[in-house]
Amino acid sequence: MLEWMKNVRKVDPYVPGEQPNDSNMIKLNTNENPYPPSPKVINKKLELEKLRLYSDPEVTELVCALADYHGLDKSQVFVGVGSDDVLAMSFMTFFNSDKPVLFPDITYSFYDVWAKLLNIPYETKALDEDFRIVPEDYYVDNGGVVFPNPNAPTSIYMQLDKIRNILDNNRDVVVIVDEAYIDYAGESALSLIDEYDNLLVVRTFSKSRSMAGMRIGYAMGNAELIKALNCVKFSFNSYTMNSLQIVLGVESVKDDEYFKEIIDKVRNTREWFSKELTRLGFTYPESATNFVFATHKSISAKELFEAAKREHIYIRYFDKPRIDNYLRITIGTDEEMRKVVDFLESYI
């Protein structure tokens, strides 16, 4: 081994969903929204000559737009380059104890990657046999708690009273609720941030706002949490958000009517597709997201995954304990989902 290689940090990286370059594909493997962003985003006149200037390091325009939208003060909002950036900053900022951070065993697979990268001790808590988080498992001494709601890849939403129970038993550490899919689900934990000063709620523009390629995420919590996040951000990279992200993010927030219309379209397609899966012999948890997490009664998930790929239909397969016979299928347009049903019906 070369001497310098001894000091290279070695990590097992997060593996994102495949991004194929296939002109005839149906791409349902990374939970993108099948519809375009708001027309306000698409039609916004951009002053590209201003790109010679640095962007606003405090992201003031977008922070204020999000604060107004959610009924918050701007001191309660932090914006980053996608929710992955916001979550990574949050791990760096809040999880610095010698005690382990807690998160589910089946969950967003970036959590353990960040923990290992940043040398943060962690423990996973097993979901129950129905893939649900068990709040009592988090009533132990720890260095912080993080979980998605709804959870991914299981698609299951946890009611607010259970989140409250976790918070009540973790008053001395930061609890992060990752709400990437909350717009397709039930009530947000945002209603609790004034009651719990240790609660951080994280959102993204990638799913319901159809802006995965623009990379915008944000966090909401009490002003002290947000101040701490900004201190770490400015110590790491002052200009994390570029000018286009800020301008187009604001336009998306302005168009609430379109935002809600697209959510309803995805939900309606999800309900139809779920019924078709039942007819074809699949079972799945009730989805509160823009995807379905399904297993077939007689055909393995890996076989279906590979067969679908041969037909240019891309879905997600996880070769992991407990979920290696499940497929995560993003909800596309009605036309795309009809083609998926036709494929499954023919193959089965």
Q: What is the full per-residue pLDDT of the chain (348 aa) written as tens digits?
A: 788 988 888 888 988 888 998 888 999 999 999 999 999 999 999 999 999 999 999 999 999 999 999 999 999 999 999 999 999 999 999 999 999 999 999 999 999 999 999 999 999 999 999 999 999 999 999 999 999 999 999 999 999 999 999 999 999 999 999 999 999 998 999 999 999 999 999 999 999 999 999 999 999 999 999 999 999 999 999 999 999 999 999 999 999 999 999 999 999 999 999 999 999 999 999 999 999 999 999 999 999 999 999 999 999 999 999 999 999 999 999 999 999 999 999 999
Nearest Cα residue to 290 out of 180, 194, 188, 199: 180
The pLDDT of residue 70: 98
Nearest Cα residue to 147 out of 173, 166, 128, 172: 166
pTM over 0.75: yes
* Amino acid found at 105: D
The residue behind tokens 């900053």 is 89
The pLDDT of residue 15: 87
- Sequential DSSP letters for 89-142: HHHHHH--SSSPEEEESSS-TTHHHHHHHTT--EEEE---TTS---GGGG-S--
Strand-pairing partners, residue 27, are 314
Strand-pairing partners, residue 173, are none
For residue 159, the SS3 value is coil
Provide the Cα torsion 119, 120, 123, 127; round to 10°: -110
Whole-angstrom Cα distance, residue 17 to residue 269? 22
Whole-angstrom Cα distance, residue 305 to residue 331? 16
The pLDDT of residue 16: 87
The pLDDT of residue 17: 87
* Cβ contacts of 338 within 8 Å, gap of 6 or more: none
